[in-house]
Amino acid sequence: MATFKVNGVEQSLDIEADMPLLWAIRDELGMTGTKFGCGIGNCGACTVHVNGNAVRSCTTPVSAVEGAEITTIEGLAVAAAGSNPAPPDLSAVQRAWIDNQVPQCGYCQSGMIMAVSAFLVSNPNPSDAEIDAGITNVCRCGSYPRVRKAIRSLATA
């Protein structure tokens, strides 16, 4: 049995302890915004927040998140709203993604947004070098200049 909170809701799943968190989220809970990319933690398509930190869920066993607070792309706007009784439809990073026309195919998008959201909490005004070092998610479409532009728009906002 694995027990943790996902997007503020307590979950108890009767699954193997070594099941990757990605599959618990997608297959057991039906939240398909978190994507499978490489399966070895390199691409970042599977990035979620575990206790506020960006984590690659394809290589994280559910046993490692016992009792943790997990946020997926589906819960990002609600988590960003905090105690606000009327949460926004989108988080600031999601809005910046739209405003800066970041998406191309969109497959990496949810993981990239999750990575950037966690990154900006610890580094709210990063340099381009810090962005390059801190955001290691892969985008096969090559939207990196627009990702950087979206991050910079948030840093200067």
CATH number of the domain at 72, please: 3.10.20.30
Residue 156: its pLDDT value, please? Answer: 67
Q: In 3-state terms, what secondary structure has residue 12?
A: strand
* CB 68 within 8 Å of CB 60: no
119 and 59 inside one domain = no
Interatomic CA distance for residues 153 and 96, integer angstroms: 7
CA triplet 142, 102, 109: central angle to 5 degrees?
Answer: 80
pLDDT in tens, the chain (157 residues): 999 999 999 999 999 999 999 999 999 999 999 999 999 999 999 999 999 999 999 999 999 999 999 999 999 987 666 655 555 689 999 999 999 999 889 899 999 999 999 999 999 999 999 999 999 999 999 999 999 999 999 986 5
Interatomic CA distance for residues 72 and 50, integer angstroms: 9
6 and 72 inside one domain = yes
Range of the domain at 133: 85-156
Residue 130: its pLDDT value, please? Answer: 96
72 and 96 inside one domain = no
94 and 125 inside one domain = yes
Residue 12: its pLDDT value, please? Answer: 97
72 and 89 inside one domain = no
Interatomic CA distance for residues 7 and 30, integer angstroms: 13
* CB 69 within 8 Å of CB 4: yes
65 and 115 inside one domain = no
Looking at the structure of the chain, the number of domains it has is 2
70 and 89 inside one domain = no
Residue 157: its pLDDT value, please? Answer: 57
Residue 155: its pLDDT value, please? Answer: 86
Residue 81: its pLDDT value, please? Answer: 62
33 and 94 inside one domain = no
